Amino acid sequence: MSGRRRAGRVSEPAVARKNMDMDVRKLDAARRILGAGTDTETVDRALDAVILQGEVTEALDRLAAAGGLTDVYPRPARSRRARSSH
């Protein structure tokens, strides 16, 4: 592992070997976007990105709850069809 700290990592992680089915096109696209060299590196970087996104979302939610953030994008109204089906 390189010397830089990555999102969600505070120490050397436990490693588990996994065998799973994946959409090869998604894996290839993620590899290109993330600049990864291997499938394992691609999945690891993608997981880091998801963890970071979750941390940012949680921080923004806390900021909004504290009154320090104004939501300038109103939530779209639900359609009649969506309301009647629930």
Q: Which comes out higher in pLDDT, residue 84 or 45?
A: 45
- What is the rounded distance in angstroms from the CA atom of residue 63 to the CA atom of residue 58? 9
Residue 68, pLDDT score: 83
Question: Looking at residues 54-65, what average pLDDT do you find?
Answer: 92
Q: Which comes out higher in pLDDT, residue 4 or 81?
A: 81
Residue 75, pLDDT score: 80
> What pLDDT digit, counting tens, does each position of 2-57 carry?
445 556 556 777 899 999 999 999 999 999 999 999 999 999 999 999 999 999 99
Residue 28's identity, in one-letter code, is D
Q: Alpha helix locations (H) across the chain?
A: 24-34, 39-65, 80-84
Buried b / exposed e over 70-79, threshold 16 CB at 10 Å, is: eeeeeeeeee
Residue 13, class by beta-carbon neighbours within 10 Å (0-12 exposed, 13-18 middle, 19+ buried)?
exposed
- What is the rounded distance in angstroms from the CA atom of residue 20 to the CA atom of residue 18? 6
Q: Where are the domains of the chain?
A: 39-68
Residue 16, pLDDT score: 92
Residue 6, pLDDT score: 57
